[in-house]
Structure 1
Amino acid sequence: MVPTMVLVADGTRDARRRDALHGLAEAVSDRREVPVCTAFGTRAELRDIVQSTAGPLVVVPAFLAGSDTASTELLAGLDLGGRFDACMTAPLGAVPSIVGQLIARLHAADWRPGDGIVLAVDGGLELSNDTEHRQVLDVARMLSRRLQTPVQIGYLREWAPSVTDAVARLRRNGHERVAVAAWQLVDGAELAELQDSGATTVTAPLGPSPVVVETLLAQHRAATARLAA
């Protein structure tokens, strides 16, 4: 029996983001590889969906490591201890396929060799999520190495520097053009704010591209193998 993929993210913030999350789920479902259900709501809704889903299941984060504090906290509250037919995957992070998709988004947004890059991430991560913070640092290093240009990390909220400050820093360092690379899987109101950061260009979110869909399915396949072991 193929385990159900339960896609999880916080979907309570804005309708634009909820629509984008459901669009991502539809793209995964359209591959006809696994049954898909969604948990894009509160912690109680997530618990109810997991408890009511019969048979084996794999909980898959529908967000990137370090990109979404609310979703990280939502997933952290899920207890699968009573389900021996269930497991959870980690959020997508600094893996070649996802970083390659981010580079493709930069090229699509008219990034040019030599332009500075700001990697725009959520911010507000707690110390307990240091693994996700390291993933963000690794993504920035991978981008800088592959594109041979400086990459600054800018935060959408709480942490410093802000995306706007990171853009300004690169301009002071001699980069007339600066691209903001949005480290986000789906669209939402927060991404609209990046247009006011002073950047030359801003990338679209990474999903629901075929690369993202395939990477989510690859995580599901690996988790399915662990359940069968």
Structure 2
Amino acid sequence: MKPLLISLGINEQGYSVVLEEADMVPTMVLVADGSRDAHRKEALRDLADAVAERGEAPVLTAFGTRAELQATVEAVDGPLVAVPAFLAGGDMASAQLFAELNIADRFDACATAPLGAVPSIVAKLVGRLRAAGWRSGDGVVLAADAGPGNDDRRQVTDVARMLSRRVQAPVQIGYLNAWAPSVSDAVDRLRRNGHQRVAVATWQLVEGADLDRLRDIGATSVTAPLGPSPVVIDTLLAQHRAAKARLAA
């Protein structure tokens, strides 16, 4: 159901009221867990600012607790699209927070899926590897943070396969928290298999304490996070446009 604009027209008999359908741009609510460290929260705000600067949609942030997320959503007057500010399999805490979002009773709201095994995103990850000093023949570890669901791990596996094809090198998956092998174990495995140089490809959007941990494991290089690069902003906005079309149908 589209909202209506009320306008006044003038005819010979006086004023008349005209009702017109209006295409409202849904508010984009960017969602991520921002409770772990101040550096990460600042990086998330930088990502939100980069999205807002495009001017395609109003942008609100929900980078906090479950209660803060729900309060932000409930305060939005009009349609909204909840958009994950994290990668599929890249941020377990944020994925759990997003899963708790309750918008089922709103006809004017929907949520998008987190960015995952998208060719343009993987291509950007290759660019990050090269910028960090990766050379042809180096081993690569994809550092992920998948949650308990199988979908996230499948996405990470797909990213690793795509990345391996692009760099023509073996890619091991290493996990930051809940799963094995750890990133450190994956780096060690590649070195035991003859790769003296091993690069870590960081499957995350923003800086934070997890990235500091990766830099301490002794890999040859560690990539910078993927956001707020133009391809990430483009893809987030493309998701928003697709969700807007669904709400308008």
TM-score (norm 1): 0.97
Name the CA distance, whole Å, in 1 between partners of 2:157 and 2:168: 16
Q: Residue 94 of structure 2: which of 71, 80, 85 is its match?
A: 71
For 1:54-203, what aligned pairs fall within 5 Å after superposition? Answer: 54-123=77-146, 125-126=147-148, 129-203=149-223
- Give the equivalent residue in structure 2 for 1:47: 70
Higher share in strand = 2
Mean Cα displacement is larger for which, 156-165 or 102-111?
Answer: 156-165
Query: Percent identity of the aligned residues?
Result: 70
* SS at 1:180 equivalent: strand
Q: Provide the residue aligned with 2:12 in structure 1.
A: none
Poorly superposed stretches of 4+, deviation over 3 Å: none
RMSD over aligned Cα atoms: 0.7
How far 1:158 sits from its partner (Å)? 2.7
SS at match of 1:145: helix
SS of alignment partner, residue 29 of structure 2? strand
Equivalence for 1:216: 236
**Aligned partners of 1:155, 1:49: CA distance in 2, in Å?**
31
Between the two structures, name the one with larger relative contact order (CA 8 Å, sep ≥ 6).
Answer: 1
Note the alpha carbon deviations across 1:59-90, whole angstroms, 9 max, x for none.
Answer: 00000001111111111111111110000000
Distance across 1 between alignment mates of 2:196 and 2:104: 53
**TM-score normalised by the chain length of structure 2:** 0.89
Q: CA deviation at 1:173?
A: 0.5
Structure 2: where are the runs of 5+ without partners?
Answer: 1-23
Q: C-alpha offsets along residues 144-197 of structure 1, whole Å, 9 cap, x if unaligned?
A: 111110000011113211111110100111111100000000000110111121
Q: Of the candidates 59, 63, 84, which is equivalent to residue 36 of structure 1? A: 59
Which of 46, 50, 54 is the matching residue for 1:27?
50
State how many pairs are aligned.
226
SS at match of 2:93: helix
CA distance in 2, matches of 1:153, 1:48: 36
In 1, Cα distance between equivalents of 2:154 and 2:180: 16
Q: Larger helix proportion, structure 1 or 2?
A: 1
2-structure distance, mates of 1:136, 1:69: 12
How many Å separate the matches in 2 of 1:194 and 1:95?
Answer: 24
Shifted more, 149-158 versus 15-24: the winner is 149-158
Give the CA deviation at 1:47: 0.6
C-alpha displacement of 1:143: 0.4
